[in-house]
Structure 1
Amino acid sequence: MHTGRVCDCACLCVAHRAVCVCRCDPGWEGERCERCVPTPGCRHGSCQQPWQCSCEPGWGGRFCDKDLSVCSEQQPCQHGATCVMEDSGDYACLCPEGFHGRNCQLKVGPCHQRRSPCKNGGLCEDANGFAAELTCRCLAGFTGPRCETNMDDCLMRPCANGATCLDGVNRFSCLCPAGFSGRFCTVNLDDCASQPCRNGGRCLDRAEGFHCVCRPGYSGATCETTLRATLAWEGRPPMTTGVMTQGSSGGNSSRYGDRLLKVTVSERSAAILSQVELIVLLALAGMTLGVVVLTATLVLQGHCRDCVPPGSCWMPPPPPASLRSDRLRKEPEHSEPRSESKPLE
């Protein structure tokens, strides 16, 4: 057991051999705790006691990571600058007049001689001081020799569907019209999500709003109006063609044949019938009129047949005169010779 390096050593007999296991104090390592532990991060150094970092020749610094021969071998200083080593192990360059930087690589140019003229966060550039005139590297959204002009971000027209573009500082915003959303107003909102159509109407989503397809008997923007239709017949002189007229009283009439079909529409909510609904009503009225006329014709024909008395002989009308003359000419040829009548004695 080594004093100060070993806390406890225990020896065991394993297969007739003594095996010793040592538990070391902090800062020591090895099978017999014979090596010290250097400072963590020590690169080119060693230790005599735990947590030391004694630098090797040519290296310096707290962790022995500084090359002390950098000035003599690498010569990092430029433009005739003098390289010196510091106590910390770093080097420093003593720059001549008109140069600056860690290695004296920068010249005192327009950007260094005066305050930067670049605005709105622009970066002043003068080729490390070797340029005769300075330039400004502008941030996104600005332009001009000194970055003094704010660019119009709406020139590219990023907003869709007729939205209004509002220019900002390196940004823009879109005021979307009704029915659209999103950053560029490209998302079409579902206007039928709230189920605006009433009385069983079917909703159709459109780009701007919605349209309700109403069931028969309803009308209005949301099918909120209930319709009530009445039909009236009035006798009028016969007409050869059908003409649809609209009176000032709000009723609609159509002439078919010798009668006038008048359709009177009254709405509970003072709504006006659409053109499609009016055409459907007129078509139904025309079909009804045709059925009535056909039924009346059939009834009249049956009544005339019943008027003929039973047992009477119905004679067909005589043939035309031309047909009778032809028949008289042909009759002697096909008829048998008649026997002459003898006078009675």
Structure 2
Amino acid sequence: MSEQRPGTGGLGHGPDWRPVIRPRRLRSTPAMRRLTQQTRLHPAELILPMFVRDSVDEPVPIGSMPGVVQHSLDSFRAELQRAARAGIGGVMLFGVPERKDATGSGATEPQGILNVATRIAVAEVGDALVVQTDLCLDEFTDHGHCGVLDAAGRVDNDASLLRYRDMALAQADAGSALLGLSGMMDGQVRAVRDALDAAGHFDTAILGYAAKYASAFYGPFREAVQSSLQGDRRSYQLDPANRREGAREVLLDVEEGADVVMVKPAMSYLDVLADAAASSPVPVWAYQVSGEYSMVEAAAAHGWIDRERTIDETLLGIRRAGADAVLSYWAIEAAERWARA
């Protein structure tokens, strides 16, 4: 057994008890901390989810998501311009239709609310922002599921793919630059890619919601889209207990041709996000979902946390875990605040 050299105080120490290795040197001043920061936030890495509601003249507040609204077409236009001025990366559009049916027919109607909103967004800010659309049936079905149902009331995977293909063409025709496939049907990326290419939409990109978990954190979103869901989505969304399954789904979406892959939710799935970032050859995004937003807002309203610091820390954590971009309801607010800093 080797002896410690007299007077060293042990490995990494000077002639007495004082440390030689001092990591605090790089935290000593604001300028030093800024210079050595390892993860940075930029508005271009943020995407704003937006809800556009059919047949309303004024924006409708969402009670469980303070500060977020279902937009009228007029308020939608104004918020799009604000998003462009803030310099964020894009917007993800969700439609809130007036009527629903078993097959979600409003999703493919050219005058359906989502396709109308898409055309407006492309005309207003298509050169400044990436206009993205949610490709899922849950907002449009009277049963609230992400696909069509079979005779036994189960979600029919392959029949749903046919509806997704039609939705993809409707959204691409409306001008969407990127389709967000959030339904979690097996084979959805390949089915949509084939339909787009067959119709000549070679440049329309696909965001595969690859690792989308059956999460309790989606609660406020149900109000945001006026969901009609009865039951749950555990037969097609991932089990929150399963990490390797998330990694498998990411690789499957990449193999099927996804241009970007998604992990959703974000903060409770940072391990899955880090796995995806380590393995994916395409960009990896994360969705900071409604429940994450509402928890911070509720705690801040009670004065229990510093709201702005908490917002930035959550975004930093998601980026640090490997997300190349983040869908966040704070996208515009954060971008505007960073510009003032």
Please tell me whether Structure 1 or Structure 2 has the larger radius of gyration of its CA atoms.
1
Bigger relative CO (Cα 8 Å, ≥ 6 apart)? 2
Same fold (TM over 0.5): no
Larger relative helix fraction = 2
Larger relative strand fraction = 1
- TM-score, normalising length from structure 2? 0.14
